[in-house]
Structure 1
Amino acid sequence: MSAQDKALDDKEERLRLTPVKGSNQVHVRGFNERLILNLIRQYDQLTKAEATRATGLSPNAVSMIFRALEDENLLLREEPIRGKIGQPSTPLRLNPSARHYVGFKIGRRSFDLVVIDFTGKILARRTSQHSHPTPVAMCAFFKHEIRSLLRSAHLRRDDIDALGVAMPSELWHWTDDFDAPKTEMEAWRDFDVASALHKILPVPISIENDGTAACRAERVFGPHTLKQDVIYFFIGTLIGGGIVLNGSVYVGRRGNSGGFGPLRVPDEPGGHRLIDHASLVVLEKLVAGEGHDPSAIYDEGFDWSALEPALSHWIARAARSLAHAIVSTLSVIDFEAVVVDGALPEECRGRLLREINSELAKLDLQGVMHPDLSSGHFGTVARALGAASYRIATDFMIDQNALHLGAAK
């Protein structure tokens, strides 16, 4: 069997196992369109026959949906595939230029601004570092950079469909943990971020927790699997993350699901919270203690091997605490997988993952299953990318948690 035939067989099997099916009733056409778009985003391209088999919809219903999505300029036709018998089949793929979104991460140590197309490709990016963020500095950065960002992407302001903002919830808190002046950070408490940014870029604006946004980027644009329930940790200046339930990001009642920082971890000098060990502020202090500049870790071009031996010390410490946190979360919900991402180089994420696996092997896992543990795929840019993906997820994808909630009502 050739590699191409094996890939097609694997695709057929995964399509057969698609956990969500469509309905042939006319009044759920919007749901069915989202389902088709979900599948095309997952498999890059899809024929009508493949969509029919995966969704359970009738061939006529699938044809109508494909036609409607083409008419909306959301899909493009590929070259027909000619088989040995029958009519050639024509795959369809997402139209990259169908929509464009700006994502803006407001972080404790940096700003990150991106513009993406409908497939999630980053067309341009701008970043800036700081010791702590202020509303004035945030507005100045956005106003100064948005014009050159769009120019680099060959876009006009009218081409932007929405702006997504990712930022820590209650940014004015946790100041002691990252050595920020309380009086300046307090300005965020009553500051209307959406209103301020809308004056600069008048498009629909969404704001969500930065860990949730990073989790959304992984779910929307990362390698797609059939895993439906996932824990996602994101290591930044502090630590947070997100939760995937029933195949969709679960934000929680206040939008803070996956705020893992306060999780208790045992037997670790320096504090009893996950944030006290698996955060970059901890690495900052270790690096500073060895006489190096801690701000260098937020420079994406910096070689982290220069941080030894502090880096190895931090990885071991973070891994021990994350292993305990993983077991704790698994005891609450039977998650299938754990993803660990963060604002650190890919090689360091790999080292951390191996160390976590080693620590998990030492723990008593009675009553919980050892999860499928993997590294995230977007690193530092995940939060801005996730912010940009918000409207893709809400307008063109299926949120199974919202469906279940609606059914319960």
Structure 2
Amino acid sequence: MKFEKREQQILAAQKGSNQVAVRGFNERLVLDLVRKNGALTKAEATRLTGLSPNAVSVIFRALENENLLLRGAPIKGRIGQPSVPMRINPDARYYLGLKIGRHVADFVVIDFTGQVRSVVSTTYKYPMPDETVAFARNNLPSLLKGAGLEKEQISGFGIAMPDELWNWTMDFGAPKSKMEIWRDVDLSRELSDLGPWPVYRENDGTAACGAELLFGPHQSTQDLLYFFVGTLIGGGIALNGSVFRGRTGRAAGFGPMRVPVSTPGKDRLVDYASLSVLENMIERAGGDRFSIYGDENAWQENTGLVEKWLETTALGIAHAIVSSLSVIDFETVVIDGSFPPTVREKLVELVSRQLDQLDLQGIEKPAVEGGRWGPLARAVGAAALPLADEYVINQNTLMRH
């Protein structure tokens, strides 16, 4: 197998240790390498980790015994014994992910490689706690049936949702008086009896960023800027190859970021680069503002409004990228959202074009790419929370110790 020079530079900072006391770290490191490269032989793992051949053999054997790795076909034609590449076993573990959005809830099952095995979704004008809990409870049996799994096969459960749902209510047409009830709701506790698994909770934008970093095509990216265009725009950042949550867990919320757009009284990114803005445009034109959620035809039916919205959204995101790059020189920007792939592709193209027209003096234009998951990114990220906690190295946590 061939490895890019850039990847080898990244891995140089993640060398393993031959001390038995950090065997857990070394196993995570080897799993991470296998996940990033698709498959890995013992010789390649030895070279990339700096571990001894014996240590790598012990780790490979342990991971295979735990059913986390599968043997591939031997690679013949080389001197000595044929090399046997190891790959991640998709069926090693399964996880539940629940995303509660401002207009849509998604409930998914993913396998150990991040593939979605089953999904159920529902839409509403705004979320309420009782309905949210009922959605999860009522749909768990059909969700598991769709994945061909029993409850006992699930290894963890993650929840992703916006912080402070009781705020920003005017921006997505919800009555503040009703949304105030969320202040006293602990959804993790409410759903803790759903099954015998640990329950994790994360901000939805941060969770989506984690899904992109763990399962997307950016696994070797060290510093990544991630935008998710939902009802209200959010996102996340990755530093040193790991998701960075920040002091309060709200790193890269993006909504309050000021952008120099000319509309008087509106200078926040959320005022331009959010689906709620498109909702209002459709409603003013006499259409159903909620039609863009769950109905791809609505995007075609409102082509003129969508194109106008895309232009202002791209300009706002481009300004936000420049502001972010003045602080950290991110190598890659990923843009995703609750819209069809064709809309995502157009938005990525427009953002890149806008960046070419802005003053980039003192900064370097990053790669601008589309995300992998679309509307399911936050639910997949929720499901990935327990997986990452048990099997992934967080470089930012390590650096604090």
Q: TM-score range by the shorter chain?
A: over 0.9
What is the alpha-carbon distance in structure 1 between the residues aligned to residue 182 and residue 17 of structure 2?
46
TM-score normalised according to structure 2 size: 0.96
What is the alpha-carbon distance in structure 2 between the residues aligned to residue 200 and residue 216 of structure 1?
24
What residue number does 1:297 align with? 292
What residue number does 2:42 align with? 48
* Range 126-135 or range 327-336, more displaced: 327-336
Which of 265, 272, 281 aligns to 2:267? It is 272
- How far is 1:77 from its partner? 1.2
Contact 2:70 2:88 in 1 (8 A): yes
* Range 129-138 or range 77-86, more displaced: 77-86
- How far is 1:85 from its partner? 2.5
What residue number does 2:105 align with? 111
Please report the RMSD computed on the Cα atoms of aligned residues, expressed in angstroms: 1.4
What is the alpha-carbon distance in structure 1 between the residues aligned to residue 23 and residue 183 of structure 2?
42
Unaligned runs of 5+ in 2: none
What is the alpha-carbon distance in structure 2 between the residues aligned to residue 34 and residue 287 of structure 1?
48
SS in 2 for 1:272: coil
What is the alpha-carbon distance in structure 2 between the residues aligned to residue 213 and residue 25 of structure 1?
33
Letter in 2 for 1:83: G
Q: In the superposition, relative to structure 1, how do residues 149 and 117 fare at CA in structure 2: closer, same or farther (>3 Å)?
A: same
* Range 238-247 or range 150-159, more displaced: 150-159
Letter in 2 for 1:230: L
Could you report, residue by residue, the CA deviation over 1:198-241 in whole angstroms, capped at 9, with x for unpaired residues? 12334210010000010001001001353211110100000100
What is the alpha-carbon distance in structure 2 between the residues aligned to residue 12 and residue 322 of structure 1?
31
Residue 324 (str. 1) matches residue 316 (str. 2): no
Contact 1:229 1:244 in 2 (8 A): yes
TM-score normalised according to structure 1 size: 0.94
Which of 8, 23, 28 aligns to 1:16? It is 8
Letter in 2 for 1:74: L
Q: In the superposition, relative to structure 1, how do residues 202 and 187 fare at CA in structure 2: closer, same or farther (>3 Å)?
A: farther
SS in 2 for 1:232: strand
What residue number does 2:121 align with? 127
What is the alpha-carbon distance in structure 1 between the residues aligned to residue 304 and residue 263 of structure 2?
18
Residue 335 (str. 1) matches residue 330 (str. 2): yes
What residue number does 2:372 align with? 377
Residue 209 (str. 1) matches residue 203 (str. 2): yes
Could you report, residue by residue, the CA deviation over 1:59-109 in whole angstroms, capped at 9, with x for unpaired residues? 111001101111222111122121242111111111222211000000100
Contact 2:296 2:340 in 1 (8 A): no
Letter in 2 for 1:111: A
Contact 1:18 1:54 in 2 (8 A): no
What is the alpha-carbon distance in structure 1 between the residues aligned to residue 317 and residue 103 of structure 2?
22
Residue 153 (str. 1) matches residue 108 (str. 2): no
- How far is 1:320 from its partner? 0.9
Residue 233 (str. 1) matches residue 250 (str. 2): no
Pairs aligned (count): 398
Could you report, residue by residue, the CA deviation over 1:238-289 in whole angstroms, capped at 9, with x for unpaired residues? 0100010000000111111110000001133161000000000001111122
What is the alpha-carbon distance in structure 2 between the residues aligned to residue 335 and residue 165 of structure 1?
28
Residue 345 (str. 1) matches residue 351 (str. 2): no
What is the alpha-carbon distance in structure 2 between the residues aligned to residue 14 and residue 332 of structure 1?
23
Residue 315 (str. 1) matches residue 310 (str. 2): yes
What is the alpha-carbon distance in structure 2 between the residues aligned to residue 96 and residue 125 of structure 1?
17
What is the alpha-carbon distance in structure 2 between the residues aligned to residue 370 and residue 16 of structure 1?
23
Contact 2:234 2:252 in 1 (8 A): yes
Contact 2:96 2:110 in 1 (8 A): yes
Could you report, residue by residue, the CA deviation over 1:101-159 in whole angstroms, capped at 9, with x for unpaired residues? 00000010011000011111111000000000000110111111111100111111111
What is the alpha-carbon distance in structure 2 between the residues aligned to residue 274 and residue 61 of structure 1?
50
Could you report, residue by residue, the CA deviation over 1:293-333 in whole angstroms, capped at 9, with x for unpaired residues? 22111115435221121011100010111111111111111
Contact 2:219 2:241 in 1 (8 A): no
Could you report, residue by residue, the CA deviation over 1:8-39 in whole angstroms, capped at 9, with x for unpaired residues? 33x36565334321122222211111010001
* Range 76-85 or range 97-106, more displaced: 76-85
